[in-house]
Amino acid sequence: MRYDLAVVGSGGAGFAAAIAARSRGLKVLMIEQGTVGGTCVNVGCIPSKALLAAAEARHVALVGHRFPGISSEAGPVDMEALIAGKAEIVDSLRQEKYLDLALSYGWEIRRGHARFVDGPALDVGGERIEAEHYLVATGASPWIPPVPGLDGGPYLTSTSALELDRLPQSLIVTGGNYVGLELGQLFARLGSQVTLVEALPRLAPAEEPEISAGIAEILAAEGIEVVTNAPLSSVSWEEGQPRVRVGGGAEREIGADQLLMATGRRPNTANLGLEEIGVEVGSRGEVLVDAHLRTTVPRVWAAGDVTGAPQFVYVAGAHGTAVVENAFFSGSREMDYRHLPRVTFTSPAIAAVGMTDQEAVDSGIQCTCSVLPLAYVPRAIVNRDTHGLVKIVADATSRRVLGVHILAEGAGDMVLAATYALDAGMTVDQLATTWCPYLTMAEGIKLAAQAFDRDVSKLSCCAA
């Protein structure tokens, strides 16, 4: 059978491409061997943030006493009901935003395993499918490192952890990046005793050191034990319960009811037949693409997490649209990640866009920085929660903003303003004098810009 575009995978990249193609009248076939919708709606953004919101609600009830005159309490969690509520949201969004959309745009979703064969073409259940162009959009899955003894017991991944119908009394979370941070705090706030283990010397190792120190302090204050510089040496199991031995500078053995491996994700490229038709794959299984998302085989493209690009659904969506423009309409669209924002949905959240201090130095840029504790942000003061900071990295000569890094409630919303500032090439002086609504967390960005030249502790609350 002949199509204009055959898409392997039904996640964010695949759906964005299919919508773009059908909007231009192209004939599309999508092949999916698992659950339609990919990572985000099924096992990633949507379910994890739904549970994080629930955990936040319980945490607020437990710490409501920080406001004079307010008392509150929270009882134990009914995990079965909580997971059922999460599943209801996931099912609803999968139907509305994926299955119903495919029906309304008019493309077929074929269930089955797709494998590339000479042509290039696809073999799906013994049927040869041909298209003018092919898109590999199979996403990524949790990656588990080879740790002695790990396979001897029932460890959790970020996928299976979101399906638990019983709350672990104690939990070891291995991995201190965004998945481990979010899920570690989630289970701690639901009532588990959590130990968070990171192989590198600090949590959130890709973020600024001030952010790493800040989030470690916040998690410790919530009762989470943080163990850094602690790579896993081995795992043993006693009646299904893990005992983890860590090395490095924190050599010790840690026991718990459950073990969650949050050690990263790797592209899904096994058994696709890519290398047999000449598509080059990298050392982590990622499909190698050029700036226009072409693979090494003409008419075969790749988009989203499978390419090894930053693993965000908004990147996948942009990839999918770009592939259709480049493949069918002589487009030359390239991905520019310089001002790509990122958010870790801890509470407070971590958000950043642009260069870190060290990245600027490594690029040969003489930079200058401002770090503003949230104790100087009026909104944080009235919220009675001043944990966090805003850091701005700027070119020391031109004073152009190179990066903005935030640890604060609402950081994910604040970072959009920072993204616009970087896109516009703004300087710290412009940020310091731009209009900003008072008593918002976003004012922290303006105050951090003012702090390059002024002592903000000597400003009145609404001083410009």
Residues forming a β-bridge with 403: 354, 393
Please report the domains of the chain, with CATH numbers, ordered by start residue: 2-142+266-328 (3.50.50.60), 150-263 (3.50.50.60), 342-456 (3.30.390.30)
3-state secondary structure of 109: strand
> Mean pLDDT over residues 71-80, rounded?
92
How does residue 83 score in pLDDT terms, banded at 50, 70 and 90?
Answer: very high
More confident position, 415 or 331: 415
pTM here is 0.95
Burial class of residue 412 in the structure, from the number of CB atoms within 10 Å of its CB (0-12 exposed, 13-18 middle, 19+ buried): middle
What tens digit of pLDDT does each residue of 15-61 get? 999 999 999 999 999 999 999 999 999 999 999 999 999 999 999 99
Alpha-carbon distance of 249 to 254, in angstroms, equals 15
pLDDT for the residue numbered 464? 64
Q: Are 303 and 295 in contact (CB under 8 A)?
A: no
174, amino acid identity: T
Residues forming a β-bridge with 428: none
What tens digit of pLDDT does each residue of 237-272 get? 999 999 999 998 889 999 999 999 999 999 999 999
User: Strands, E, within 323-384: which ranges?
Assistant: 342-344, 349-354, 367-373
**SS3 of 120-145:** CEEEECCEEEEEEEEEECCCEEECCC
Angle at 133 between CA 8 and CA 302, to 5 degrees: 50
What tens digit of pLDDT does each residue of 118-146 get? 999 999 999 999 999 999 999 999 999 99
> Mean pLDDT over residues 437-463, rounded?
90
What tens digit of pLDDT does each residue of 342-377 get? 999 999 999 999 999 999 999 999 999 999 999 999
Residue 10 has pLDDT above 80, yes or no: yes
